A = this chain, B = another copy of it.
Amino acid sequence: MSTATDSSVIIVGAGVVGLATAVELASRGHEVTVLDPAPASGATHFAGGMLAPTAEVVYQQDPLFPLMRASGEWYPELIDLVASHTEVPTGYRDEGTFVVAADRADAQHLVELADYQSLHDMEVERITVREARRAEPLLSPRLAAAVSIPGDTQVFPRQWAASLLSAAQELGVRFFRTAAQSVDAARGVVSTPAGNFHADDVVLAAGLGTRDVDWARSAGLERSPLQLRPVYGDIVRLRVPEHLQPLLNRVVRGFVEDRPIYLIPRADGTLAVGATTREDTLTTAQAGGVYALLRDAIRILPAVEECEFLEASAGARPGTPDDLPYLGRVSDRLVISTGYFRHGILLTALAARCTRELIDGSDPSIDLTACNPLRHRKEQQ
């Protein structure tokens, strides 16, 4: 696979985006170094892992749709690539998703959203609650409506990160457990407490940590144009008792009195219930969030009451002002890849492929104009 474009690349950040980018680049013959004080942790650790370009559609975010859809289409290829380099399971599951509505207003919302999704050429099928319950018998009989989204899939983020890490190591990617302090965007030098690293290209993919890396002035900017903020979400993990296995066969999302909720069955017999969205600065799971998640989950799937309560945690996702990622080249030596917000796991396939194309100097497979990392420069506003 080696080509004339082969080069050395440093990737700052070993979340799923950084790791998948490392795998993608290394598999094409690039010599890749990854810097991260704690690989495969960060937001990944708290992610739901749904690959749901359809179910995660949000009104008025049309520029996101093609990115999500493309990434969803490219995902199986990334999964195959990783699986060909490691025995660690990816946790990929393609049973599709149901979305259900708790009350009549939620049903109205669900139907309108399905129409909107169909309008945007997404595959979504209205089914009866009876049909939903035939496939998922433990769903509440008191649901108001249901749709099936056969194309939405999932990975188990903690497992997925581990398999990416393993594949990257198998492909010869070098890991250093250190944090980047600054990147010289003109010379390709990354300084860290462990010394300086040099490469032809640097990819800054450190999620919220990107804020702590000094790179802007070396790229000719007065200050960093990246506007990243933490968006917290509480997530609850439950263990499904033996006699209720499997609690669910696929991901079930829902609207309960207009609040979104998702229920994700894992291969390890646990169920993840997420996720609240909080813009406060509270870095731990909140009692109100845990309460709301359990309440809404029980409303959709009453047997949740009988599950063992394992843990409640909270993670911060890197949000941007327009909910679009920052993905693009900002200098001869520096590519920015962060700000994936709620869609970090899904957009990982897009991030990895497009970054590889940017490094290779070829045209990205998809128009990245909307993702321009410089779009929020103060001068432009």
Contact = CB atoms under 8 A, between A and B. Distances in A.
Given A294-B294, A295-B295, A287 B312 contact: no
Interface in A234-251: 234, 236, 238-239, 241
Nearest to A280: B306
A297 B291 CA distance: 10
A312 B291 CA distance: 12
Interface string A285-329: 111111100110110000011111100100000000000000000
Interface in A86-115: none
Contact of A294 (B238, B241, B287, B305): B287
A284 interface: yes
Range of interface residues on chain A?
20 to 34
A285 B311 CA distance: 10
A241 B280 CA distance: 13
Nearest to A289: B309
B308 A288 contact: no
Contact of A238 (B234, B287, B308, B309): B287
Contact of A285 (B285, B304, B309): B309
B286 A307 contact: yes
A282 interface: yes
Contacts of A309: 234, 284-287, 289-290, 312
B286 A306 contact: yes
Q: Which of A234, A285, A291, A297 has the most CB of B within 10 A?
A: A291
Contacts of A307: 286-287
A294 B292 CA distance: 9
Contacts of A297: 287
A291 B236 CA distance: 12
A67 B357 CA distance: 78
Contacts of A291: 291, 294-295, 298, 305
A294 B286 contact: no
Contacts of A290: 290, 294, 309
Nearest to A307: B287
Q: Which of A285, A298, A304, A305 has the most CB of B within 10 A?
A: A305
A285 B239 CA distance: 10
Contacts of A298: 287-288, 291
A239 to B, nearest CB: 8
A288 B312 contact: no
A26 B221 CA distance: 75
A312 to B, nearest CB: 5
Contacts of A308: 282, 284-287
Given A284-B309, A295-B295, 4 more contacts: A234-B309, A238-B287, A286-B305, A290-B294
Interface of A: 234, 236, 238-239, 241, 282, 284-291, 294-295, 297-298, 304-309, 312
19 contacts: A236-B287, A238-B287, A282-B308, A284-B309, A285-B308, A286-B308, A287-B294, A287-B297, A287-B298, A287-B305, A287-B306, A287-B308, A288-B304, A290-B309, A291-B291, A291-B294, A294-B294, A295-B295, A309-B312
